[in-house]
Structure 1
Amino acid sequence: MVTLGKRGDDHAKSQAMAFLRERDLTIPKLFNEMADRYRIRQGGYTRIHKLGSREGDNAPMAVLEYVDTPGDLSYSMLIKKLARLEIDPSLKISPTIIEEGQASHMDKREYKKTLRCLQGQKKFERKVEKMKDSKSMSKDDLDKKVASEIHRLNNLGKRENELRIQSKTRRKGGHLSYESY
């Protein structure tokens, strides 16, 4: 569907209309907001978080999440997990533990991906340090602090998206040209 939104032509709109319900809400969102957000991404628009099996009929459950959104769930959970580990001195974790392979594969992969996205380890460590503020912080205080930091990061992410949207592609003379506003 996102690929259809990125194409943006009449045929793509008719294909999307045939598939989607509540067209007056979903079509504008797909062809405007989603198409602009994923303009430079070539695929892999979603992430699947498996939740286990449902009680009763044992059906598998999962949460489907769009990637590169301001409220990216895996990034938020990673910061929260690292901040909790840093508060408890017996569970002290450092980047060397992750690089040496003593951390789980998922944490290692998410950590490295996050470092790449944030353009460096120091910036990420400052955010974790900010989260753990005080060693006597309770879990509730930590959750509030993490929520406020995530909210701040969401606002930064929205601003980055707005700046990215400002340099839209536009058809001009049969070829694509980029225009910054």
Structure 2
Amino acid sequence: MDTDTAISRLIEHFREIITLKESDVELIISRLDIIKLEKKEYLLKEGQISKHMRFIAAGSLYAYYTDEKGRENTTQLGIENWWVNDLYSYLSEQPSRMFIQANEETTVIQISKESLELLFKEIPAVSDFWRLKMQSAYVTLQERTFEHSRVDAYTRYRTFISAYRNIEQRFPQFMIASYLGITVEYLSYLRKKHMTDVY
């Protein structure tokens, strides 16, 4: 994806929530960094401090941590028009406990924390945008925490494919299974069960 198309996608994303003047757009664009990742390339590694907010303009990313047995545990999946980050590291300025890696060739737009803080002052609507985004992220996290502790795996799977209709075909089964907290074999069973229930 070329730079102009990537930036246009981000500006459209902002404008879904807030109103921006052309002078605002020019100021935002001046603060952006474009990063292109190859498949399997890392955007963030464990131990690094996350210093940017990251928008996926094209491609897909996933975030995971490794447990004491060396197993990967997927915490986030992201496709176009999604933000993916280690918010704990970004907000606390502590080293990340996660890896963020490209699932395919991916174009990411970054805004540094310093630049974003300046934009909050220069364009108050950008502050409103992030307030709403953070609220939405918190609600999503609470819902996911509730589901993992109180809802059966089949219901979690159905909620996942209903909420994220375009995502299941973009990621390997092992990542989706890890995200849902189940085995690959059980995910395969749930997919078959769902197909039977639907048809």
TM-score tier by shorter-chain length is under 0.3
Higher strand share: 2
TM-score by length of 1: 0.28
Point out which structure has higher relative CO (alpha carbons under 8 A, 6+ apart). 2
TM-score by length of 2: 0.26
Q: Specify the structure having the higher radius of gyration (Cα).
A: 1
